[in-house]
């Protein structure tokens, strides 16, 4: 469990909490429950959280799968600088946003989920994680001169360069790691397409 980036899970959890807050808020407002104005707050808070959490942060190692169309929100979230980068800020923000929704039953599940998400963000922050925007790199134009290499000398089918070197060094040795080359009981045909 050591390598996991907690912020990634916190992000999924926060996004889910946002949607749950919106749903709970709609139920409370449409049903005109007692203290339904907390429901209206929940909808607003839910929308804000969804917009904030939609752009996924970049992983420290490896490639990150972007969410569909997230580059527009990435630009907006980037504008907040350290407030969006720092996960302590997010943890406190989510905790703060979750409290008013706790006063209404319809949104209490959203509160619980958002509080859990805040906890995971806190854990991520203590481990030094940060939100880095995923930016598309400008496409490098391949330099035409550099890609032309020496054309191959032998006709196809040909194994790659390394195998050719290996074959020339050790022609009799087996290519496998078990007991050596085995005779084929049925002919293995080569179908060149």
Partner 1 sequence: MKERICQQQERKTVMMGCWMLNESVSVILALLWLGVNLYLFIDTFRWYGEEESFFYTRVILGSTLAWARASAVCLNFNCMLILLPISRNLISFIRGASICCRGPWRRQLDKNLKFHKLVAYGIAINATIHIAAHLCNLERYHLSQSAEAEGLLAALSKLGDTPNESYINPIRTPHTNTTTELLSTIAGITGLLISLALILIMTSSTEFIRQISYELFWYTHHMFIIFFISLSIHGAGRIVRGQTPESLLLHNVTFCRDHYAEWQAAARCPVPQFSGKEPSAWKWVLGPVVLYACERVIRFWRFQQEVVITKVVSHPSGVLELHMKKRNFKMAPGQYVLLQCPSISSLEWHPFTLTSAPQEDFFSVHIRTAGDWTRALHTAFEAEGQTIKEPRSLPRLAVDGPFGAALTDVFHYPVSVCIAAGIGVTPFAALLKSIWYKCCESQTQLKLSKAIHIALHWDENTDVITGLKQKTFYGRPNWNNEFRQIAYHHPSSSIGVFSCGPKALSKTLQRMCRLYSSADPRGVHFYYNKESF
Interface positions with partner 1 (CB under 8 A): 1-5, 8-9, 12-13, 16, 20, 23-24, 27-28, 31, 33-34, 56, 59, 62, 65, 103-106, 108-109, 112-113, 116, 157, 159-160, 162, 174-182, 184-186, 188, 190-191, 193
β partners of residue 86: 130
- CA dist 28 and 38 (Å) reads 8
Name the residue among 21, 20, 7 with its Cα closest to residue 84: 7
Minimum distance from CB of 141 to partner 1 (Å)?
Answer: 23
30 contacts: CB under 8 Å, gap ≥ 6 = none
Minimum distance from CB of 31 to partner 1 (Å)?
Answer: 6
CA neighbours closer than 13 Å in the CB half-sphere of residue 164: 10
38 vs 97 by CB, closer to partner 1: 38
Minimum distance from CB of 165 to partner 1 (Å)?
Answer: 11
Q: Count the Cβ atoms, other than its own, within 10 Å of residue 79.
A: 8
Tokens at 107, concatenated: 């949104």
Minimum distance from CB of 131 to partner 1 (Å)?
Answer: 15
* Four-CA torsion 67, 19, 72, 100, nearest 10 degrees: -140
1 vs 79 by CB, closer to partner 1: 1
27 vs 89 by CB, closer to partner 1: 27
80 vs 165 by CB, closer to partner 1: 165
- CA dist 152 and 31 (Å) reads 75
Minimum distance from CB of 150 to partner 1 (Å)?
Answer: 18
140 vs 191 by CB, closer to partner 1: 191
């Amino acid at each position: 469990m050591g390598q996991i980036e907690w912020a990634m899970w916190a992000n999924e959890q926060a996004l889910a909490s946002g949607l749950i807050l919106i749903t709970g808020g709609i139920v409370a407002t449409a049903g005109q429950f007692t203290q339904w104005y907390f429901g209206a707050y929940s909808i607003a808070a839910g929308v804000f959280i969804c917009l904030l959490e939609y752009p996924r942060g970049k992983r420290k190692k490896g490639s990150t799968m972007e969410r569909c169309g997230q580059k527009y929100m990435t630009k907006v979230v980037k504008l907040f600088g350290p407030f969006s980068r720092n996960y302590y800020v997010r943890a406190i923000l989510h905790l703060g946003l979750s409290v008013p929704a706790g006063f209404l039953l319809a949104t209490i599940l959203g509160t619980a989920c958002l509080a859990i998400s805040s906890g995971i963000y806190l854990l991520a922050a203590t481990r030094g994680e940060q939100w880095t925007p995923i930016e598309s790199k400008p496409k490098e134009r391949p330099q035409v001169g550099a890609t032309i290499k020496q054309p191959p000398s032998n006709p196809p089918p040909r194994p790659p360069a390394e195998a050719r070197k290996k074959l020339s060094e050790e022609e009799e040795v087996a290519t496998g790691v078990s007991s050596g080359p085995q005779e084929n009981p049925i002919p293995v045909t080569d179908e060149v397409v």
